[in-house]
Copies of this chain bind each other. A is one copy, B any other.
């Protein structure tokens, strides 16, 4: 498996660029917990995910976090290469939630390619539009959705993502970091969910007991 099979518009590049891209793209494997990219000045390159799971998030000065998006197999990450576009000016951190393999396309090469290849420019537009839509969704969630609904949605997403396990191995601290709130707020709401019979809490893990009700709550 090479980057040619994972980079969506590879077949639209001219043969010289196909060759160059394959040469320049370097495969990297990182273990769970690795910080792949951090802050606005770091400019690693365009990431093409081969396997695993990355998380992009922002942090406050006080160390609070909120997840902006996640990346899975075949996803492309534009924001670890903020230097390719001068108008991208924000600090984002990208970390590995699982062992992850990805190709890195060097930022200078991608920038040059985008400046002369219409297909690459159009593709980058589509990528950005997708992320913009996701970010708008997040704003709406934060602004209008009550925390119980956001937590229910998060738990269900995790549950499906992990293949519906008997228990989710996740701490209240980590959930708080995804949703941009304090650990205490998560603990309080999870206890409420438990009292309502929707989840069962044990140390460091959460069992989904009533998927239907959680789902109703999330979609309200």
Measured CB to CB, the residues of A under 8 A from B are 58, 60-62, 64, 66, 68, 85-90, 92, 114-118, 121-122, 124-126, 128-133, 135-140, 142-144, 180
Contacts and interface: CB of A to CB of B under 8 A. Distances in A.
Given A121-B118, A121-B121, A139 B85 contact: no
Contacts of A129: 85-88, 128
Contacts of A115: 118, 122
A114 B126 CA distance: 12
A60 B146 CA distance: 12
Contacts of A132: 88, 128, 131-132, 135
A74 to B, nearest CB: 16
Contact of A118 (B88, B118, B142): B118
Nearest to A58: B140
Nearest to A118: B118
Given A58-B139, A90-B133, A92-B136, 6 more contacts: A60-B140, A85-B126, A87-B133, A132-B135, A142-B142, A143-B180
